[in-house]
Amino acid sequence: MSSLELSNISKGFKSGMVLEDVSLSVKAGEIVVVFGPSGTGKTVLLRIVAGVQEPDAGGITIDGVDMTDASPEARNVGMAFQNFALFPHFSTHDNIASPLTARNVPEGRLKEQVSAIARMLKIDHVLGHAPRELSNGQKQRTALARALIGQPKVLLLDDPLRNVDAKLRYEMRLELPRLLRTFNSAVIYVTQDYKEAMALGDHIAVLRNGRIEQWDTPTNVYRAPVSLDVARLFGDPTINLAPCRLETVGQGSQIHAFGRVSPVSEAYAEATGRDLVAGLRPEHVIVTETNTPGSVEFDLDAVMPVNVRSVLYLRGPAGEEVLATVGESEAARFGRGHRKVWVSFAPDDILLFDAASGQRLAPRVN
Amino acid sequence: MERSSSLEKAIRGILITAVLLFFLFPIFWIFLMSFQTNEDILRIPPSLFFEPTLQNYSALLTGKLETAAGSLDIAFMRNLGNSLLLSTFSVLLSLALGVPAAYAFARFKFRLGENIAFTLLSFRFAPPLLVLLPLSLFFKQLGLTDTYIGLIWVYQLICLPLILWIVRGYFEDISPDIENAYRIAGHSWWRTFRRIAIPLARPGIAAAGLLAFIFAWNNFIFALILASASKQPVTVGALAFVTASGIQYGQIAAAIVLSVTPTLLLALYAQRYLVEGLSLGAVKG
Amino acid sequence: MANLLLDDISKTYAPRAKAPIRAVKQVRLDIKDGEIVALLGSSGCGKTSMLRMVAGFEEVTEGAIRIGGQEIHNLPPSQRGVAMAFEGYSLYPPLKVRENVAFALLREKKANAEIEARVRQVAELLEITDILDRYPTVISAGQQQRTSLARALIRRAPVSLLDEPMSQLEPQLRAIVRARLKDYLIEHKMTTLFVTHDQTEAIALADRIAVMEKGELQQFGTPAEIKERPNNLFVASFVGEPPMNIFDAHLDHAGDHLRINALGAGGQAAFSLKAPLLENVAGQDVRIGIRPHLITLGADASPTSEDAVATGRIISNHWLGDQSHICLDVAGTNVVCVTERPVETEIGKALALRVPAKAVHLFDAVSGRALAHGLASKVH
């Protein structure tokens, strides 16, 4: 049974609908990432679960109990805010302890629990400090400790790593899964960073324009996005896109995209003649120095090393822009760019989308 | 490029001195006057050199004024007490009513909310005399004329809008997420208001309370019309020095010094609150 | 375009009644004609002060700035031949995006046809074509930043200065705009100095990177040099994502070679490496660093005699679509490994990892200075 059930939540403001018919279920110990660009209603969704905002329609159940109309203090929910929302006039210790004081936990046990969680999050040395004396990283950990200490049934994390520096964000990304596992809450984690979403989520709910556009495991969201929008939101560099049309030639179908003709599985045959968009992930583009069968000549206009790889900026015979990621050692051969190279890819790596609706074509199953 | 020439420095110094002179000279002069006899004060041309006397102060404190025309009773100390009582209770009542109201205006969007808030402020725009005449009639009917309760009630016209509008701004500056966080932690609405909202708005509440106190203290017209001698504050009481035998400038000066001192001390003490403000470092990223 | 020389420049701020702040300390950068250079560092490291000195918004306390051999640091900004894109955009609100972009060319009284062609070119490059006739106040922050960038790029000035040029860019556009920008800068041989706190951006765009910290130049080199031969611990840990794994370590002399014992939390032994004798190593306490993608995972990690093998417990295993980040607990210290393929493993499981000797960087424990890069027997 799920610890948290959201059914058909809708919420509108004067400016329009923010959430439409959002349903979501999270099991105890599971992390569901709600991912989407800013302004898609992610934070509103969390606030509705926390009870500080009311939904226009829909229901919330926590551990089987209907909580739709319960006040925030009755829900047993923990929340970490993007702006930390620490109590500026409380010490770090009192900030963390606030969920325990609400339950009248005796002084001794309270102290014990606070120092235990502070040790776990490496902030035990700043327990006496006021929030304004903390670094952003320490503030963020304090907020996290405060959300976790009550061992809430539901834990809501509103982009908690947004306001900490890159290095710390990365470290926290590594530590969080283990930390969250020990508390066994049902976690909703909101983020705009697709890497964070993929790293942390057991499931990802891609929220766009107030609706859940895709609900799936991270691997599936990346490999099989339901729409162009989802495909563009995951991956760095962004997926390469090219308009194309499906043609029938003899027995099979084919498309002309990224400078060459590629065969397409018969399963897509019914899309023949429609305007399509072909998508190709940069890591699936194969770049060679010499002509290989099936490859096309492109201009290599810029080489951009990115960590362990390099991004190549390629321009095709008709001016098509293609980005490719290749290994660092491979990239070293190309120097500063501005030369000819040969580009190919496996036809199976192409994702096909309907140009009008933006939906990915579903292969017909026989 | 932040370097400034010595000429600039000199000009700046002169200008600052001029401004200070302009604003502080009257206070300084009053202070001097309070140690002078009426003869010294009225001498032409006025002189900075005189024989200081404490006669003005002793007259105020003992309540007996010896003049050429004979002995006169003055109720200055009582007036001072009245001022203190009226201002303090007015501000306390205003805080009790105004702070929760300010919170409501800041946090909840309700129908006509803005209009109500503005109407309350608009009491400050109307000339006091406009409301005074009808008020004095009502007060007679209600038996509130010349009572402390009646005066404190009327003083709400001064204090309440001030407190409402200043404190509302402070509440609006507190991120609602801080309060949300406290509620999610399991605390009731009332506890959140007391433990989070009030302490965080404390600098604003202190500032508004202080300003309201000073405004109430300095009020003249309400008490002039609605109170008799026994309930009068110092502002009205000072009129007593305009006697048949002449105006007692020395006593007036001493009365002013004595009546300004409490508000001045209060302002100096509360400056810390006004300037420092509570750092909301925990809110901003 | 022209070369740009920052000749031992310093900047000292002297606030009234406070100790002077030395924001930039004797930095020398010799930037070649047409070269793209990044000033990389965290906030407050002096990088923006340097850019503003070149632009002419700050006085140079000591040293000289030369463009094309000519001293320019006493000239007013408009006569220096520099174009600048501001971090705060600073667009002219009463002008449309098009007029903002074309501003410098209009002032130079260029022919209309040329102005139009160049506006179209940079607008396409930065994807602002469809907002050219809007006003700056009604476009998004990302669009404002791209407009500000366009306004600087269109000039093709002898030196272009870009302050955090891509900080607000929409993630979906970042890679492609970066690519086009690099292409544009190379094609027009534009000498470019840009400030960034994002090491990914610095590495992707720049021919050379100047890493700054506390007003001092830590290293000035190509991205490859910075990554493979970092001057010190600061550079090593600042550049690279995920950052370099760092261990405390202890050196033991063993006849004709050294034994390096890496230590985990609380001084537990993590793994040990054999290394050739090093002349410049005096003390016994060092720190070693290994880039995450150079660690090999799993049982097939067959060690050579110099390589170290350690065992770790999996803390997290993140597949990011095109790479995996695996974090292991090795003797109480977190070690991050990056692989190209997903790794099938569970949290809590023990896993072997191999640390190749040639991937190990050695740093002085006290000064942080680099002592050696790669510890294979032939390498010094």
In chain B the domains, ranked by start, together with CATH numbers, are 2-73 (no CATH), 76-284 (1.10.3720.10)
Question: Closest Cα of chain B to A126: distance in Å?
Answer: 14
Burial of A88 (0-12, 13-18, 19+ CB in 10 A): buried
Q: Tell whether B181 lies on the interface with A, counting CB pairs under 8 A.
A: yes
- List the structure tokens of A264: 């397409």
Length of chain A: 366
Helix (H) or strand (E) holding B28: helix B6-33
Residue in A closest to B198 by C-alpha: A89
User: What's this model's pTM, rounded to 2 decimal places?
Assistant: 0.85
Burial of A61 (0-12, 13-18, 19+ CB in 10 A): middle
* pLDDT band of B226, cuts 50, 70, 90: confident
B278 pLDDT exceeds 80? no
Q: What is the pLDDT of residues A237-294, one digit of tens each?
A: 999 999 998 888 877 888 999 988 888 888 888 888 889 999 999 999 999 998 988 8
Amino acid at C218: Q
Q: Cα torsion at B83, B87, B89, B92 (round to 10°)?
A: -160
User: Hey, are the CB atoms on C315 and A218 less than 8 Å from each other?
Assistant: no
Segment A65-92 shows an average pLDDT of: 93
Structure confidence at residue B96 (pLDDT): 96
B3 pLDDT exceeds 90? no
* pLDDT band of B274, cuts 50, 70, 90: low
Tell me if A197 sits within 8 A of A204, measured CB to CB. Answer: yes
Residues of B in contact with A72 (CB under 8 A): 180, 183-184
Structure confidence at residue B135 (pLDDT): 84
Structure confidence at residue C380 (pLDDT): 39
Question: Closest Cα of chain C to A123: distance in Å?
Answer: 17
A7-11, A48-52, A91-95, B129-133: which has the minimum mean pLDDT? Answer: B129-133
Local structure of residue A132 (DSSP, 8 states) = G
DSSP string, C249-263: EEEEEETTEEEEEEE
Structure confidence at residue B285 (pLDDT): 31
Structure confidence at residue B116 (pLDDT): 84
Segment A196-225 shows an average pLDDT of: 94
Distances (CA, A) of C209 to A26, B150, C68, C69, C94: 46, 77, 20, 22, 37
* pLDDT band of B67, cuts 50, 70, 90: low
How much of chain A, in percent, has pLDDT values that exceed 70?
Answer: 99
User: Hey, are the CB atoms on C334 and A195 less than 8 Å from each other?
Assistant: no
Distances (CA, A) of B250 to B16, B115, B262, C197, C339: 30, 48, 20, 70, 92
A47-56, A321-330, A357-366: which has the minimum mean pLDDT? Answer: A357-366
Structure confidence at residue C379 (pLDDT): 40
In chain A the domains, ranked by start, together with CATH numbers, are 2-225 (3.40.50.300), 240-354 (2.40.50.140)
Segment B5-32 shows an average pLDDT of: 89
Chain A touching partners, 3 or more CB pairs below 8 A:
B, C
Q: Tell whether B278 lies on the interface with A, counting CB pairs under 8 A.
A: yes
Nearest by Cα to B231 from B65, B83, B64 = B83
Question: Closest Cα of chain B to A194: distance in Å?
Answer: 22
* pLDDT band of B2, cuts 50, 70, 90: very low
Segment A99-106 shows an average pLDDT of: 94
Task: Please count the other Cβ atoms lying within 10 Å of the Cβ belonging to residue C215.
Answer: 22
Structure confidence at residue B282 (pLDDT): 32
Structure confidence at residue B283 (pLDDT): 36
Amino acid at C107: R
Q: Cα torsion at A243, A246, A249, A252 (round to 10°)?
A: 120
Collect the ranges in chain C with pLDDT lower than 50. 301, 379-380
Structure confidence at residue B280 (pLDDT): 36
Question: Closest Cα of chain C to A87: distance in Å?
Answer: 27
* Strand pairing report for A252-257 and A240-249: antiparallel
B259 pLDDT exceeds 90? no
Q: Cα torsion at B182, B183, B186, B189 (round to 10°)?
A: 120
User: Hey, are the CB atoms on A323 and C315 less than 8 Å from each other?
Assistant: no
Structure confidence at residue A260 (pLDDT): 87
Structure confidence at residue B97 (pLDDT): 95
Segment A321-329 shows an average pLDDT of: 90
Prediction ipTM score: 0.88
* pLDDT band of B279, cuts 50, 70, 90: very low
A21 pLDDT exceeds 70? yes
Residues of C in contact with A305 (CB under 8 A): 203-204, 223-224
Mutate to test the interface with C, among A136, A195, A208, A304 (most CBs of C within 10 A): A304
B232 pLDDT exceeds 90? no
* pLDDT band of A27, cuts 50, 70, 90: very high
Cβ contacts from A onto B, under 8 A: 92
Q: Output B23-32 pairs: Cβ under 8 A, ≥24 positions apart.
A: B30/B253, B30/B256, B30/B257, B31/B253, B31/B257
Buried b (16+ CB within 10 A) or exposed e, C286-304: bbbbbbbbbbbbeeebeee
Q: What residues have CB less than 8 Å from C53, skipping those under 6 apart?
A: C9, C11, C24, C59, C60, C65, C73
User: Hey, are the CB atoms on A136 and B196 less than 8 Å from each other?
Assistant: no
A193-202, A267-276, B113-122, C122-131: which has the minimum mean pLDDT? Answer: B113-122
Question: Closest Cα of chain A to C59: distance in Å?
Answer: 31
- List the structure tokens of C334: 């977190």
Residue in A closest to C291 by C-alpha: A308
Q: What is the pLDDT of residues B164-218, one digit of tens each?
A: 988 998 899 899 999 999 999 999 999 999 999 999 998 889 888 888 998 898 8
